[in-house]
Chain A
Amino acid sequence: MRQPVLVARLAVRELWMTFRLLVLLVAFVGTSAVVILFPAAPAITLARLALGLGVATVLASGVAAWSLAEERTAGRAGWMVSRSVSRGTYLVGWFVALSFITVGGILGAGILGWLALFSLPLRLDGAAFVTSMAAIGATAAAAIACGLAAGAVLRGAFAFGLAVAVCAGLGVAAWQLAGPVPAVPGAAYLLLGDLGSASVLPSAMRAAGVGLVLAAVLLSVARVAIERADL
């Protein structure tokens, strides 16, 4: 149990020292700050919040990819593995660290977003809002896992590009579909924009489930990839 904690703590410190932690927090919390600073009609406010969180999620995936790729190529992943840390433990440590920061950012964005929406002439279902944010958190975890899978096989800029392209592509695909379909990755963001609808709560719960399952699948893919990678 001690090794994953040490790896996660080291990952958080590395993200802090390289300002990537700050970039992630600013991306998520900054979205809500913009929503508060530029008041608009309820539908537009929700759409802005959803779009901003979507962009931040894509960025989180890219940061995850770049970070793991850099750890590999700089020999730092190898240093940990040669200290008897298994590759799986190393991957989980980084996933926990990135998810911890992202969830913190989403929490901050959610609180600020709620305050922004609270002042609008809109009847908001608190449970639906919280569930939508949880679904966004689960989707962000899947995006991070996707980034780690890319970072396990490709070098820095290529890993970043692939992770961003895949996540942005899925986001655009979800947006292009007629209405939010919970089974499609990225639907959580559309559900946030559709908070006035009565069917949001069950759909958000399904979207959260889909996000978690996807995160588990992508993390398994990343595990297979890092097991075969040269460190």
Chain B
Amino acid sequence: MRLLLVAEPDRSASTLIRVLAGLARPGRGRIEIAGLSDPTKDGWGRRVAHLGPEPGIHDWMTPREALELAAGLLDVAPIEAERRIERAIAWVRIPVSALDRPVGTGGPPLLQLTGFAAALIGDPEVLLLDEPLRAIEADERVRLLRLPGRRRTILLASRYPASEAGLVTHVALLRGGRVVMLARVADVEAAGQPLSLRGIIAFADQRAATARPGGQRTAAGLR
């Protein structure tokens, strides 16, 4: 499943991603991923990866150092770590000349590519993406985010849903921190709505109206 999280009007989609990633604490309740509530590496820590708008990598680190650190923190065996690092570098296409230069010298694009590659090192089953790779050119961004692997679940929080077309299979709309609509992207498009914030809201309102007794009449009345 590749789920697009859209929030109206606040930033609760980002907040939800941050809560799931363990970066923010929920006011109440608890989080379970794959039946586990322990976010450390003994729980679901190795199975989930997060990438936010700011990757959080030290400017002075080289991409190779950052990836080696990511592998080390996940206790990946050295030979396997080397293999995964090479695979991640090949996927994100970090230039060879930039691999051993501080990420700070490559600006936001290199920083974000390195952060994305680091997120892939653990071969995560669940990928939590919060406005990812915004510094990357649009076509390349789409290529990067079309990750291979059927068993991967991707949650993508975005304020620009139209830019995520083709990347997601489902969409959820949050209002005031609550999920008010969960639908397949195909259903949104079949209803004649574009995958934009306005289109998603209109689709959610349509569905809510038809779900209510006499909803058709209300919706027609609104029109």
Contacts and interface: CB of A to CB of B under 8 A. Distances in A.
Contact of B69 (A10, A75, A77): A10
A27 to B, nearest CB: 23
A84 B50 CA distance: 10
Decide if the interface of chain B is mainly helix, strand, loop or mixed.
Answer: loop
A83 to B, nearest CB: 4
Interface stretch (B39-47, B167-175, B198-206): B39-47
B75 A2 contact: yes
Contacts of A123: none
B22 to A, nearest CB: 6
Contacts of A29: none
Contact of B50 (A13, A17, A82, A227): A82
B58 A14 contact: yes
A-B interface, 4 closest residue pairs, ranked by CB to CB distance from nearest? A84-B45, A79-B56, A75-B56, A84-B41
A149 B45 CA distance: 25
Interface string A70-101: 00001111111111111000000000000000
Interface in B102-119: 115, 118
Contacts of A79: 55-57, 115, 118
B118 to A, nearest CB: 8
B25 interface: yes
B52 interface: yes
B140 interface: no
B195 interface: no
Contacts of A85: 73
A81 B46 contact: no
B23 A82 contact: yes
Contacts of B73: 3, 6, 80, 83-85
Nearest to A227: B25
B22 A75 contact: no
A80 B23 CA distance: 10
